[in-house]
Amino acid sequence: MDHLKAVLADWVEESKKLAHHGQVAAYIPELSHSPHEALGIHITSIEGDSVSAGNCGTLFTMQSISKVFTLIMALMDRGEDAVFSKVGKEPSGDNFNSMLKLELVEPGIPFNPFINAGAIVVSSLIAGDGPNDKKARVLDFFRRIAGNDSLDYNHAVYRSESDTGHRNRSLAYFLKENGVLMDDVEDVLDVYFHHCAVEVTCADLARMAVLLASGGVDPISGESLIPRRFVQIAKTFMITCGMYNASGEFAIEVGLPAKSGVSGGIMTIVPGRYGIGVVGPALNRKGNSVAGVHLLERLSSEFDWSIF
């Protein structure tokens, strides 16, 4: 990783300058306190080496990045047929919180598991005896794949989103009305808002990502934590829908499976080589970290990481 160590700190400083072009998400009030100028990155190789630079100690909530792993949990709990009878496999081309196509396009199931409507349905498919059991299972799974027993929910961010998440609430009621969501709406949202509020550092994201880069086998313990097929499904959605409706552009400019979140996190992988966690809370208009995307574009083009 010496080639990365040689440049990473300088490149982070250069990309950081772009943060002022973006804005921190404020629709979840608690996120508006995020450090606007911060940019951090942590890269973990499949051999277990690490390099990091910038504000990599910044704590942030996973937000939409968590949707990768709740999808994997639902697939492991229920199987492919059950999951994909309730959520589609196609990019929507709309904003992550859009409800437009739920009514416009038959059969009224969300286009994919990464837009909010799809992720809310996925939350309802996680096995468990009520929301408390499901939340405990989510935390347990996330701790296992991050190799970090102290991962936890950020209760202030959870509460802030739960108090103000009227749009997600309306999406959920719409899905209930359509017969896509069977459980109690508030119970499902309790699980959804909580998994969005799991707090991590870039190092945690990189560790979770390296598991995907290695096809589901923990490269450190050698233990298979996720079936290869489900890793393949998750990576495919990361390419087609992971950066919201900027996924096509990201695929051209960076060419790696990735998932972003409104807290400014990006989790990406170089298949078979690296897991990468980035945080840069200032977002562009499509909801992705301005400085983070810039840094990944540079890394990918300089080191020829694109899978295409």
Ligand X SMILES: NC(=O)CC[C@H](N)C(=O)O
Catalytic residues: 64, 67, 192, 244, 262
Q: Which is nearer to ligand X, 30 or 161 (CB)?
A: 161
Give, in order, the Cα–Cα distances in Å from 176 to each of 98, 103, 232: 16, 13, 29
Instruction: Specify the residue, 98 or 168, whose C-beta has the smaller distance to ligand X.
Output: 168
Q: Of 55, 123, 154, 168, which lies in the binding site for ligand X, with binding defined by CB under 6 A?
A: 168
Is residue 193 a contact partner of residue 162, using CB atoms and an 8 Å limit?
Answer: yes
Give burial (CB, 10 Å; 0-12/13-18/19+) of 23. middle
The residue from 11, 60, 96, 141 that contacts ligand X (CB under 6 A) is 96
What sign does the CA torsion over 291, 293, 297, 300 have?
Answer: positive
Q: In terms of CB distance, is 214 or 268 closer to ligand X?
A: 268
Question: CB 272 → ligand X: shortest distance, Å?
Answer: 27
53 touches 286 (CB < 8 A): no
244 annotated as a binding-site residue:
yes
Residues 11-70 close enough to bind ligand X by CB under 6 A: 63-64
Site for ligand X in 265-304 (CB under 6 A): 287
Q: Are 237 and 114 in contact (CB under 8 A)?
A: yes
SS3 state of residue 276: strand
Q: What is the dihedral of CA 238, 241, 244, 250, to 10 degrees?
A: 60
CB of 50 or CB of 164, closer to ligand X: 164
Under rule CB under 6 A, residue 261 binds ligand X: yes
Closest separation in Å from C-beta 14 to ligand X: 26
161 is in an annotated binding site: yes
Binder among 226, 262, 282, 291 for ligand X (CB under 6 A): 262
Q: Are 19 and 39 in contact (CB under 8 A)?
A: yes
Assess contact for 172 and 6: CB atoms under 8 A.
Answer: no
Task: Tell me: is residue 95 an annotated ligand-binding position.
Answer: no
Cα 220–Cα 224–Cα 230 angle in degrees, nearest 5:
125
Q: Which of 116, 160, 201, 288 binds ligand X (CB under 6 A)?
A: 116
Given 151, 196, 213, 239, the residue binding ligand X (CB under 6 A): 196
Least distance (Å) from ligand X to the CB of residue 224? Answer: 29
Q: Which is nearer to ligand X, 68 or 145 (CB)?
A: 68
Q: Using the minimum distance from each CB to ligand X, give the nearer residue, 54 or 242.
A: 242
Q: Which of 265, 242, 239 is nearest to 42 (CA)?
A: 265
The total of other beta-carbon atoms located within 10 Å of residue 115's CB is: 28
Structure tokens at 287: 């909801």
Q: How many CB atoms lie within 10 A of CB 61?
A: 27
Amino acid at 81: D
- The count of chain residues that interact with ligand X, using the rule CB under 6 A, is 11
Using alpha carbons, select from 4, 47, 11, 45 the residue that is nearest to residue 203: 45
Residues contributing to the annotated binding site for substrate:
64, 116, 161, 168, 192, 244, 262
Residues contributing to the annotated binding site:
64, 116, 161, 168, 192, 244, 262
Binding site for ligand X (CB under 6 A): 63-64, 96-97, 116, 161, 168, 196, 261-262, 287
